[in-house]
Amino acid sequence: MNMSLCIGLTLSPTWLNGEGWRRADSKAEQLFSSQYYLELAQRAEAAKLDFVFKPDSLFFNKEMADKSPGHTCLDPIVMLASIARETEKIGLVATMSTTFSEPFTVARQLQSLNWMSEGRVGWNIVTSIEGSGNFGKGEMPSSKERYERALEFTEVVRKLWASYPNEALTINRESGQFADQEMIFPIHHKGEFYHVEGPLNVPAFDSTSIPLFQAGASDLGRNFASFVADACFAATPDLESAIELRRDLHTRAHKHGRDSRAIRVLPGMHFFLGETREEAQQLYQDAYAHLTNEQRLAAVQRILGVDLSHLSLQSRITAKDIPEVMENVRSRTHADLLRRIIINEEPTLQTLLSKPEVIGSAHWVVIGTPADAVEEIIRWYRHGALDGVIALPGGSVQSLNLFLEKVVPLLVEKGLFRKEYSGNTLSEHLHEKVKK
């Protein structure tokens, strides 16, 4: 029996990005209602997905408001609490920042939600890239400091979860002992960043630990992820970068003394799906129709560090148009990817500017039919590039519908994904095998 692929759906409405929210069928007015997210979670549960995942940031970017409505987002714990009671099986992964929160609060909120959902909670640990002004912190701490904090923060949270174990709950009416005091310990944590006495004032839901998710991409981030995470989210735009990341995370996990197979690597998959390829292409084009050529050229300049604005749209772009050594690029993976496309395809400038790698995102982008998406997932799986995916539907709710109604059932048919849940908790879903 193989491990089941692990599939999570984002609760950030990625399909409303760009022009998506302006469509008549977008339900944009309902974006801040609990019903909107509850329906998504219930549909994901009907498709037997492992979890829904609520991304989060702790700042507001006014420029993003019109182009990425999901950027103004509801608090993950509040949102997931409203979903917990109305669902039974699906995992609920909340994003919480180690830079702007306190370990006691995070440990308590997550363990509370774990009780509310009967063991279905996961924590997406992020160090946040922006927002210090909202917390009286002055300048953002460096990435190094943020990850050092994250390490200690996570250690404290885990100690707090262990400080009041589930086994301590005796609830003995006869003796009058509700909890065995001898099993509940203060943690007396005194570290570089945190002093926390403990114990936590919420007992653990059960004896398994709450699964941890992380998406570190930098050297420090990968080190942290491979040390603590049960599952890693990945922004890997192409197969090569995903294979490299998964292999690297496994090697690092092994060095930390962990079983490398314990980490499930889940690339974000941004997909535009149609019943036909033409329909999918149109959906994708429409989503980014608002971007001018100037904005697209600026994106190329950001990614590759080269200005192509003096060329006509019909010019072919070849290796000679881009520098051999790329310095000061924002993302080496993304720059290498675009470089490979230029060298292999020698596209016209117009074609280059319409590529998802230029205008879309740093994620793996799939534009096509459900069968195309399944083929791509299987190709990546066979190459050892993934253990599952984070579904990031694009363009309109149609992409989401086709994913749940066609892509997932096709994966079930191929024996790569579960037909029914066999467990009840998120931890059980993450380690489930598929029965053939």
Ligand X SMILES: Cc1cc2nc3c(=O)[nH]c(=O)nc-3n(C[C@H](O)[C@H](O)[C@H](O)COP(=O)(O)O)c2cc1C
Q: Are residues 113 and 94 in contact, defined by beta-carbon separation less than 8 angstroms? A: yes
Q: Please, which of residues 371-400 interact with ligand X by CB under 6 A?
A: 390
233: contact with ligand X by CB under 6 A: yes
Binding mask 21-60 for ligand X (x = CB under 6 A): ----------------------------------xxx---
Within 10 angstroms of residue 131's Cβ, the number of other Cβ atoms is: 16
Instruction: Give the one residue of 47, 80, 126, 373 binding ligand X; rule: CB under 6 A.
Output: 126
Query: How far is it between the farthest Cα atoms of the chain?
Result: 86
H or E, element range at 311? none
Of 392, 377, 421, the C-alpha closest to 46 is: 421
* Residue showing the smallest CB distance to ligand X in the complex: 221
Q: Smaller CB distance to ligand X: residue 12 or 117?
A: 12
Binding mask 255-274 for ligand X (x = CB under 6 A): -------------x------
Q: Smaller CB distance to ligand X: residue 242 or 374?
A: 242
Residues sharing a CB contact under 8 Å with residue 102, sequence separation 6 or more, in sequence order: none
Phi and psi of 366, rounded to 5°?
-125, 125
**Residue 299 CB, nearest distance to ligand X (Å)?**
19
> What gap in Å lies between CA 69 and CA 22, rounded to an integer?
11
**Residue 336 CB, nearest distance to ligand X (Å)?**
17
215: contact with ligand X by CB under 6 A: yes
**Residue 308 CB, nearest distance to ligand X (Å)?**
27
**Residue 71 CB, nearest distance to ligand X (Å)?**
11
Q: Smaller CB distance to ligand X: residue 234 or 335?
A: 234
Residues near ligand X (CB under 6 A), total? 18
Listed ranges 169-177, 216-224, 296-304, 403-411: which one lies at the site for ligand X (CB under 6 A) = 216-224
Q: Smaller CB distance to ligand X: residue 255 or 433?
A: 255
Phi and psi of 228, rounded to 5°?
-115, -25
Terminal-residue alpha carbon distance, the chain? 7
234: contact with ligand X by CB under 6 A: yes
Q: Smaller CB distance to ligand X: residue 121 or 215?
A: 215
Burial class (CB in 10 A: 0-12, 13-18, 19+), 188: exposed
Q: Smaller CB distance to ligand X: residue 54 or 120?
A: 54
Cα angle: 380, vertex 383, 389; to 5 degrees: 30
Q: Smaller CB distance to ligand X: residue 37 or 205?
A: 37
238: contact with ligand X by CB under 6 A: no
H helices of 288-396, where?
Answer: 293-304, 332-345, 349-353, 356-359, 370-382
Listed ranges 38-46, 85-93, 213-221, 311-319: which one lies at the site for ligand X (CB under 6 A) = 213-221
**Residue 229 CB, nearest distance to ligand X (Å)?**
11
Token duo for residue 357: 């790698």
61: contact with ligand X by CB under 6 A: no
198: contact with ligand X by CB under 6 A: no
Bridge partners, 366 (sequence order): 271
Q: Please, which of residues 70-109 interact with ligand X by CB under 6 A?
A: 95
**Residue 372 CB, nearest distance to ligand X (Å)?**
21
Q: Are residues 160 and 199 in contact, defined by beta-carbon separation less than 8 angstroms? A: yes
Q: Are residues 415 and 434 in contact, defined by beta-carbon separation less than 8 angstroms? A: yes
Residue positions counted in the chain = 436
> What gap in Å lies between CA 148 and CA 126, rounded to an integer?
12
DSSP 175: T
Q: Smaller CB distance to ligand X: residue 10 or 117?
A: 10
DSSP 404: I
Q: Are residues 169 and 203 in contact, defined by beta-carbon separation less than 8 angstroms? A: yes
245: contact with ligand X by CB under 6 A: no
Q: Smaller CB distance to ligand X: residue 322 or 362?
A: 362
Q: Which positions lie near ligand X, rule CB under 6 A?
A: 55-57, 95, 126-129, 215-218, 221, 233-235, 268, 390
